[in-house]
Amino acid sequence: MPLNVLVVDDSAVMRAMIVKTLQMAGLHLGTVTHAANGQEGLQALDGAWVDLVILDINMPVMDGEAMLEAMRGQAELANLPVIVVSTEGSDTRISRLVGRGVTFVHKPFAPESIRDVVGELLGVVP
Amino acid sequence: MNDTLEPILREVAEDTLQSLAFLFPLEPEAEVDQTGETAIAKVNYTGPCSGCLLVTVPRSMLPPLTANMLGLPEAQAPAGEEEVDALKELANVICGNLLPAVAGREAVFRISAPEVLEASGPDLDPAHGELAGTAFVPLEEGWARLELYMGPASSQPGGPG
């Protein structure tokens, strides 16, 4: 079953890197949607079937934490799997994010770490 | 300037350049060509201390940096805006990894969106603090220079990327 993924990051290069990593991991991708901030990300989720959100934190307009909060407040999005990919180095903030049910991947990331996390979260074997 | 920051700056830069862009460091004392145009990315940060990180690279390094990050085939040249975006992301990732290495993992910093400076000599306002450390990293395909400015604590909005 193809995996529909929403990638939210203000860097187009980072979005492309993440998609490439998912492809290299051998995941069967369906629709891959790009968004440059949280607001665009929420719009992309409106009415679309998405299996996984890969989310940056520091973005203009609406950051990743605000998008995550908005998602958790909507019944249909509250349990959507989210992987936060960020340079965040503060244990305090990482704990807060993990407490909201996301999986955290640190930038720069090894391709295997994304593959393993996706496999674990969705039970997908590449 | 604090000389003890130099090895931290160097290590974070080397690790990031290798992991993110497959650009491998030479020995610190290796001589590399430093003539030619440069490109500078700046990232502001606030938290227990505030300031900015400048990352300078030769313009000739932008195509391999970008192509490696995107996994482009050799024949495909990256677009100009991709090169700017790649340099910004490089600076963002270096800064995000550098601050906890300098201030500890309990410290909470907020990092602003990176910008690429047009001028060769960046105008730094006093809020960006004093030059706290520098590192020069010779690479197989160019070089990178890091300059970390630090000042008093601040609490302006932002967040890590």
For chain A, what are the domain ranges?
A: 3-87+104-109
Please count the structural domains in chain B: 1
Q: What is the pLDDT along chain A (126 residues), one digit of tens a residue?
A: 899 999 999 999 999 999 999 998 888 899 999 999 999 999 999 989 999 999 999 888 999 999 999 999 999 999 999 999 999 888 888 998 999 999 999 999 988 888 889 988 888 765
Instruction: Identify whether B160 is part of a domain.
Output: no
Using an 8 Å CB-CB cutoff, list chain B residues near A96. Answer: none
Output the pLDDT for position B160. Answer: 45
pLDDT, tens only, B46-88: 999 999 999 999 999 999 999 999 989 888 899 999 999 999 9
B14 touches chain A (CB under 8 A): no
Residues written for chain A: 126
* CB proximity under 8 Å: B 105-144 to A: 105-109, 111-113
Q: What CATH topology corresponds to A3-87+104-109?
A: Rossmann fold (3.40.50)
The pTM of this model reads 0.90
CATH code of the domain containing B96: 3.40.1550.10
* Separation CA A119–CA A126 (nearest Å): 7
In this structure, is residue B161 part of a structural domain? no
Residue B157 has pLDDT above 50, yes or no: no
State the pLDDT at residue A27.
86
Are B138 and B111 in contact by the 8 Å Cβ rule? The answer is no
Cβ(B159)–Cβ(B110) below 8 Å: yes
A90 chain-B contacts, CB cut-off 8 A: 100, 105-109, 160
How far is B157 from chain A, CA to nearest CA, in Å? 10
B64 in contact with A, Cβ within 8 Å: no
Distance between B131 CA and the closest CA of chain A, angstroms: 22
- Would you place residue B120 in the very low, low, confident or very high pLDDT band (cuts 50, 70, 90)? low
Of B135, B122, B145, nearest to B44 (Cα)? B122
Among A9, A13, A58, whose Cβ lies nearest the Cβ of B158?
A58
Domain that holds residue B44: 5-29+40-151
Q: Which residue of B has its CA nearest to A95?
A: B106
Which of B87, B88, B90, B92 should one mutate to test binding to chain A, selecting the residue with the greatest count of A CBs within 10 A?
A: B92
Instruction: Decide if B70 and A59 are in contact by the 8 Å CB cutoff.
Output: no
pLDDT digits (tens, 9 = 90+) for B2-49: 678 999 999 999 999 999 999 999 999 999 999 999 999 999 999 999
β-pairing, A29-35 vs A52-55, is unpaired
B92 in a domain, yes or no? Answer: yes
**In the prediction, which pLDDT does B119 show?**
59
Using a CB-CB cut-off of 8 Å, the residues of chain A touching B17 are: none
